[in-house]
Amino acid sequence: MTQNLPARLDGSVRVVGAGLLGASIGLGLKRLGVDVILADASRAGLNLAIDYGAGRLAAEGDDPALIIVAVPPDATASVVAAELAAYPNATVTDVASVKVAPLAELEELGADLSRYVGSHPLAGRERGGAISARADLFVGRPWVVCPRPEVGRERVVLIEHLVLDLDATPVTLDVDAHDAAVALVSHAPQVVSSLMAKRLGAAPAGALGLAGQGVRDVTRIASSDPELWVQILAANSPAVVEILRAFRDDLDDVLRALGDVEASGARRVIAQELAAGNAGVAGLPGKHGQDRRYSSVVVMVDDTPGELGRLFSELGEIGVNIEDLRLEHSPEAQIGLAEIAVLPEAKARTMDDLSARGWRIAG
């Protein structure tokens, strides 16, 4: 991270909405010395974010150069319009996860769109609120910026400076391309995860006790806020419906094949769908957006205080960079499994060096 560098942004920044994203933006900018002004409809939420150090209360005479609207999608357009009217010199952006609907509503409201640049950071956590905010929430994450021809380049650059100051990666898309993309990589997966997690609700305790990393991976995002997701899905429903219909068609193919696995071609259908999944996940970018695959080293870690920290420390001592990490631990087990992703050329050395230090390698 670039904590030692000065902020690219110059002047005050007003953040409207002191929840997870707004407070995280405030924390990240405050760390760079930026004057952050916070506003929120909830006085309690606002005070909490201020207590966490995400910014200060608004004061008479504030003249922010940049305003960031971080409110739920249903309120985004009305709040953006109000901020544009209240601060006629400011550039205004929002961080809503849909872009087409707010822009259309702003056009209907007659807002000054020459000062509005929609954006969206692809970052978040399963839990919301200022209490979950982190200054490093956006580090290495894509942040979509949606410029339009009628917006001056200097205003777009201001948003790009915001993104870079928070150590995120700016990505330029138009609003239609953005909404289609997030329907595929975020919105439809949320529905699939939630529906799978629903199956767990009626499961016997004995079955849930067998849960491993697979079901946890599939259902991790299912704990997200339903009220917020109703707004997101409703605002991007055409794109989400198209993906879920195709998903349903694939699922129907698998159901038919599983319904009579002895039928001619049934196993081939199942195998092809699973192989298509292999191909799809292989295209996901790796760390820092690189299309690079990593090798896995699975280390057995005793369930005692400090052992995981010792593993990390010794990986640093032998000069191995952790590209990704997955932990698996059953409540009654005395050991856990740490699956460490490393560069392929480092796998053999990592296994040898850790083994020499007494670590048990499971794979």
**Same domain (yes/no): 51, 161:** yes
Strands (E), 30-112: 36-39, 56-57, 66-69, 91-94
* Predicted confidence (pLDDT) at residue 287 exceeds the cutoff of 60: no
Domain assignment of residue 3, yes or no: no
Query: What does R_g of the chain's alpha carbons equal in angstroms?
Result: 23
Q: Are 136 and 1 in contact (CB under 8 A)?
A: yes
**Same domain (yes/no): 189, 161:** no
274 pLDDT tier (thresholds 50, 70, 90) = very high
Domain assignment of residue 192, yes or no: yes
Residue 245 sits at the vertex; the CA angle it makes with 242 and 250, to the nearest 5 degrees, is: 130
What is the bridge-based pairing of β-strands 118-121 and 142-146?
antiparallel
**Same domain (yes/no): 51, 165:** yes
**Same domain (yes/no): 33, 131:** yes
**Same domain (yes/no): 139, 246:** no
Strands (E), 112-166: 118-121, 142-146
Count of C-beta atoms within a 10 Å radius of residue 147: 19
Percent pLDDT > 70 in the chain is: 95
Instruction: Give residue-wise pLDDT tens across range 159-214.
Output: 999 999 999 999 999 999 999 999 999 999 999 999 999 999 988 888 888 888 88
C-alpha–C-alpha distance, residues 5 and 27, integer Å? 16
2-6, 295-299, 356-360: range with lowest mean pLDDT: 2-6
- Domains of the chain: total: 3
Give the domain CATH number at 297.
3.30.70.260
Question: Which of 25, 29, 5, 15 lies closest to 64, judged by CA?
Answer: 15
Q: Sign of the C-alpha dihedral, residues 237, 239, 244, 249?
A: positive
Instruction: Give residue-wise pLDDT tens across range 337-356.
Output: 888 988 888 899 999 999 99
288 pLDDT tier (thresholds 50, 70, 90) = very low
42 pLDDT tier (thresholds 50, 70, 90) = very high
304 pLDDT tier (thresholds 50, 70, 90) = confident
**Same domain (yes/no): 168, 208:** no
Distances in whole angstroms, Cα of residue 357 to Cα of each of 191, 245, 311: 44, 52, 10
Last residue of a domain, one of 155, 173, 191: 173
Q: Are 162 and 94 in contact (CB under 8 A)?
A: no
Residues 6+ apart with CB under 8 A from 289: 140, 142, 169
Phi, psi values for residue 182, rounded to 5°:
-70, -25
Residue 147 sits at the vertex; the CA angle it makes with 10 and 34, to the nearest 5 degrees, is: 20
Q: Are 170 and 138 in contact (CB under 8 A)?
A: no
**Same domain (yes/no): 17, 84:** yes
Q: If you write DSSP's letter for every residue of 154-214 in order, what string do you get?
A: HHHHHHHHHHHHTT-EEEE--HHHHHHHHIIIIIHHHHHHHHHHHHHTT--HHHHTT--HH
**Same domain (yes/no): 18, 165:** yes
**Same domain (yes/no): 183, 306:** no
Domain assignment of residue 68, yes or no: yes
Last residue of a domain, one of 130, 153, 173: 173
Give the domain CATH number at 267.
1.10.3660.10
Distance separating the N- and C-terminal Cα atoms of the chain: 32
**Same domain (yes/no): 51, 159:** yes
Last residue of a domain, one of 257, 282, 307: 282
291 pLDDT tier (thresholds 50, 70, 90) = very low
**Same domain (yes/no): 199, 143:** no
Percent pLDDT > 90 in the chain is: 72
Domain assignment of residue 311, yes or no: yes
Domain assignment of residue 77, yes or no: yes
Q: Are 129 and 155 in contact (CB under 8 A)?
A: no
Tell me what the pLDDT averaged over the chain comes to: 91
Domain assignment of residue 237, yes or no: yes
Q: Look up the pTM and report it.
A: 0.78
Chain centre to alpha carbon of residue 295 = 24
C-alpha–C-alpha distance, residues 339 and 317, integer Å? 18
Determine the structural domain holding residue 239 and report its residue range: 179-282
Confidence (pLDDT) at 289: 46
> To which residue do tokens 């299912």 refer?
222
C-alpha–C-alpha distance, residues 223 and 309, integer Å? 28
